[in-house]
Amino acid sequence: MPAEERLQAIRAQVQQCRACPLSVGRTLAVPGEGPASSRVMFIGEGPGYHEDQQGQPFVGQAGKFLDELLACAGLKRAEVFITNVVKCRPPSNRDPEPEELKACDQYLNAQIEAINPRVIVTLGRFSMAKFVTNGKISQIHGRPHQVDGRVVVTMYHPAAALHQPDLKKTLLEDFGRLKQFLQQAETPPTPAAPPETHKETPPEQLSLF
C-alpha cells in the first residue's frame, strides 16, 4: 500500500479509536498531518484546546511559534509531518499517562514506518522519552542522536517558551542548527577506500645491499 494510503488508513483508525479514556472527552482526535514524503517528522506531546476543536496539530499559540521555528530551519509546515505521542487531548492539558501513551504508540509507530523520515524531531520530554530514555531535555536539547539507524533531534516543546520566555532564544538557536542536521542526514556517506593490498616484490627485484 502506498505511504499516502497508509497514512489515511491510520487517520481513520485514530478518529474511531476508543483504546483509552481520552477518547471519551475529546471533541476531535488529532492524528497528525503532512505529506507522506516528508523528510522530517515532528512529534509533540498531545493536542491542546484549539487542536481538539479543529482536529489539527499545533494550531494554537504554540503552533504559531512552531511556524517561526520551522522558518529558522529553512522549513515550511506544508513540507513536514507533525503529530503527537497521544492523539486526543488530555483533560486540562495535563501530562499524558502511561496507559494513554501505550494506547497511541501503535499509531505513532505506524506513521513513522509509513513516512520513513530521515530526521525525527521530538518536541518535549514525553516524545523525547520514546527515543532517548536516559536523558534530561534541559541537558540534551538541540542535539542529534542516532536511534535505530535514524537521526532523532531532541527539542524543547514550543509551548515551554510561552511559559518561560528565556527558552525562546534557546529554541530559536536549536532550530537554527536543525538545517545542518538535515543536510548531514541527506548526504550519502563517502565510500570507504578499499584497503591497500600488499604485493610481494619478485625475487629478481630484491636488493642484496
Q: Which residues pair with 1 in a beta bridge?
A: none
CA-to-CA distance for 143 and 12, rounded, in angstroms?
Answer: 34
For domain 7-185, the CATH superfamily is Uracil-DNA glycosylase-like domain (3.40.470.10)
Give domain limits for the chain: 7-185
Task: Please report the pLDDT score of residue 187 as a whole number.
Answer: 76
Residue 140 or 1, more confident: 140
Question: Any residues with CB less than 8 A from the CB of 98 and at least 6 apart, and which?
Answer: none
**β-strand partners of 40:** 119
pLDDT digits (tens, 9 = 90+) for 37-90: 999 999 999 999 999 999 999 999 999 999 999 999 999 999 999 999 999 999
Q: What is the pLDDT of residues 108-156, one digit of tens each?
A: 999 999 999 999 999 999 999 999 988 899 999 999 999 998 999 999 9
C-alpha 103/C-alpha 175 separation (Å) is 30
Inter-CA distances, 56 with 27, 147, 177, 179, Å: 12, 28, 27, 25
